[in-house]
């Protein structure tokens, strides 16, 4: 085959095309969201616990990409990545609701994911527990991105252990109580984590309050067990009748009736599926996204936060990323509220 003709002389193609001109380069934090590693809000990726401890980060994002404990639609294993990617802003953002630039006030990092492999519930929960415990032990406030709701059992347990001898209360936003004894014989299913937390002693039932319950599950006998344990809950009909703010104020008071700090658990199906369709167990008639975002801001502004998880985001069912965007904003609202708290002179990190 004949060779293509070529110019044997020296040709500077960069100069010919203008590619050798000086151009401004940008830090990874300021690059567009679709460039580089998809960390949460393009924040520094620091999965190593020793580096995290040395940095003294205020807040750390943790991924729990696990959904082998679902009872209906799968896909939440892809939730952490979708939540991280559901953003269009980078750099030093400004919260219009709170008038604060959170990343100028707090040191927030992405601590990576728990070491998950599929089809092994016990191992997944163990590695989620270890990862969250590792992060919380540095003093940073973990924001855990699920994953199905079973991840709350190991996640909240880890934070409760780090906080000892203090105690934590839980404000749980969900369409479903997740206090079943088992899911078809499985004790670690996504319908059981709140019962496991209480039965294990990690969290007291009297320090547990649920918001947004509706629909047709769980059965009556489950609510009888909840009542025996001292749980308190607010059905969606109460939000409809009294308004979200009145209910949230009650929930804050109930969750802090004894504990030193609050862990927030947000199942994205607390939002009406018209605004958050990408979830495993959609339940019509839920809260509006703005009500949930405001609730998170109000809780963080009034009480000490021990941690938070955001679960059940299932991207395969998520039209135009709207569910992942709602979850992304839940995390951002907590971060912004913590930044406002820091500016007001209140501590954010956990210091013994």
At 31 the pLDDT is 83
Cα separation values, 100 from 96, 103, 329, 336, 343, Å? 7, 9, 15, 7, 9
Q: At residue 204, does pLDDT exceed 90?
A: yes
Inside any domain, residue 182: yes
Dihedral sign for Cα atoms in the order 25, 30, 34, 38: positive
pLDDT by residue (tens digit) across 290-314? 999 999 999 999 899 999 999 999 9
**Domains identified in the chain, total number:** 1
Inside any domain, residue 78: yes
CA–CA separation, 84 vs 67, rounded Å? 17
The residue segments making up the domain with residue 193 are 33-343
The CATH number assigned to the domain holding 314 equals 3.40.800.10
Inside any domain, residue 302: yes
Q: Binning pLDDT at 50, 70 and 90, where does residue 37 land?
A: confident
pLDDT by residue (tens digit) across 62-114? 999 999 988 889 999 999 999 999 988 888 899 999 999 999 999 999 999 99
Inside any domain, residue 28: no
pTM of this prediction exceeds 0.75? yes
* Listed residue (165, 164, 223, 157) closest to 193, CA to CA: 157
Residue 24: CB atoms within 10 A of its CB come to 4
CA–CA separation, 57 vs 116, rounded Å? 24
Inside any domain, residue 15: no
DSSP letter assigned to residue 257? S
Inside any domain, residue 49: yes
Strand, helix or coil at 308?
Answer: strand
Dihedral sign for Cα atoms in the order 13, 16, 20, 26: negative
Q: Beta strands of the chain (E only): which ranges? A: 59-64, 108-113, 141-146, 168-173, 208-213, 232-235, 261-267, 305-311
């Amino acid at each position: 085959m004949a060779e293509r003709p070529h110019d044997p002389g020296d040709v500077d193609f960069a100069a010919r095309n203008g590619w050798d001109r000086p151009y401004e380069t940008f830090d990874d934090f300021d690059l567009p969201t679709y460039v580089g590693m998809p960390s949460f809000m393009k924040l520094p990726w620091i999965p190593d616990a020793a580096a995290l401890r040395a940095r003294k980060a205020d807040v750390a994002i943790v991924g729990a990409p696990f959904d082998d404990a679902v009872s209906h639609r799968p896909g939440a294993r892809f939730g952490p990545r979708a939540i991280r990617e559901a953003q269009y802003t980078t750099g030093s953002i400004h919260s219009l609701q709170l008038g604060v630039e959170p990343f100028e006030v707090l040191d927030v990092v992405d601590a990576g994911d728990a070491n998950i492999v599929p089809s092994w519930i016990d191992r997944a929960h163990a590695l989620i527990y270890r990862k969250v415990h590792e992060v919380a032990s540095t003093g940073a406030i973990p924001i855990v991105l699920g994953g199905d709701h079973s991840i709350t059992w190991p996640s909240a347990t880890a934070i409760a252990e780090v906080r000892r001898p203090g105690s934590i209360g839980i404000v749980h936003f969900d369409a479903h109580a997740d206090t079943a004894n088992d899911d078809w014989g499985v004790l670690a299913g996504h319908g059981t984590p709140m019962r496991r937390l209480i039965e294990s002693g990690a969290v007291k039932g009297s320090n547990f309050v649920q918001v947004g319950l509706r629909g047709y599950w769980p059965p009556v006998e489950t609510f009888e067990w909840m009542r025996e344990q001292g749980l308190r809950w607010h059905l969606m009909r109460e939000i409809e009748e009294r308004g979200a703010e009145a209910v949230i104020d009650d929930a804050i008071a109930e969750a802090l009736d004894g504990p030193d700090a609050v862990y927030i658990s947000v199942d994205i199906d607390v939002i009406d599926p018209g605004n958050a369709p990408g979830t495993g167990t959609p339940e019509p008639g839920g809260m509006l996204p703005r009500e949930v975002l405001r609730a998170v801001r109000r809780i963080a502004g009034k009480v000490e936060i021990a941690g938070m998880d955001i679960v059940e985001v299932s991207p395969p069912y998520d039209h135009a990323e709207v569910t992942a965007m709602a979850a992304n904003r839940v995390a951002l609202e907590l971060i912004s509220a913590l930044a406002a708290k820091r500016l007001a002179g209140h501590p954010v990190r956990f210091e013994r």
